[in-house]
């Protein structure tokens, strides 16, 4: 009888572990990018501990809506894939390793972390 109760309790605990939602994961660190303000000044945007697996449209790039940011720096512990298009769409993308960065020539409007 005790063995049956212990087995039932262990099975129930295992099912709870399998069905419980996991906590949201995040890339630890900071992702930076440069952009031009509406007044034409160079500024730096950043994301602290960005959520993994979710596309993030970068805020603030460009003096006009839709103008891309540039020179991304991935100072997180996850790989960042940057896209030229918003919504992580299109064929123009580039992968930045953890701790990596790119030149001013790499334009970016959105990013997703693995």
pTM over 0.75, yes/no? no
How far apart are alpha carbons 17 and 10 in whole angstroms?
11
Could you tell me if residue 9 is inside a domain?
A: no
pLDDT given for residue 36 in this prediction: 86
- Give the CATH number for residue 46: 2.60.20.10
Could you tell me if residue 92 is inside a domain?
A: yes
pLDDT given for residue 61 in this prediction: 59
Residue ranges making up the domain that contains 37: 29-113
Could you tell me if residue 89 is inside a domain?
A: yes
Residues of the chain with pLDDT under 70: 1-24, 61-66
Could you tell me if residue 19 is inside a domain?
A: no
* Structural domain count, the chain: 1
Could you tell me if residue 7 is inside a domain?
A: no
Could you tell me if residue 17 is inside a domain?
A: no
Longest Cα separation, the chain? 77
pLDDT given for residue 24 in this prediction: 58
């Amino acid at each position: 009888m005790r063995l049956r109760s212990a087995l039932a309790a262990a099975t129930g605990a295992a099912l709870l572990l399998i069905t419980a939602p996991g906590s949201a994961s995040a890339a630890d660190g900071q992702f930076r990018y440069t952009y031009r303000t509406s007044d034409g000044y160079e500024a730096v945007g950043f994301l602290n501990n960005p959520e993994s697996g979710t596309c993030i449209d970068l805020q603030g790039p460009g003096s006009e809506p839709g103008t891309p940011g540039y020179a991304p720096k991935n100072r997180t512990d996850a790989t960042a894939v940057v896209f030229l298009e918003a919504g992580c769409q299109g064929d123009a993308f580039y992968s930045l390793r953890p701790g990596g960065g790119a030149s001013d020539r790499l334009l970016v409007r959105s990013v997703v972390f693995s």
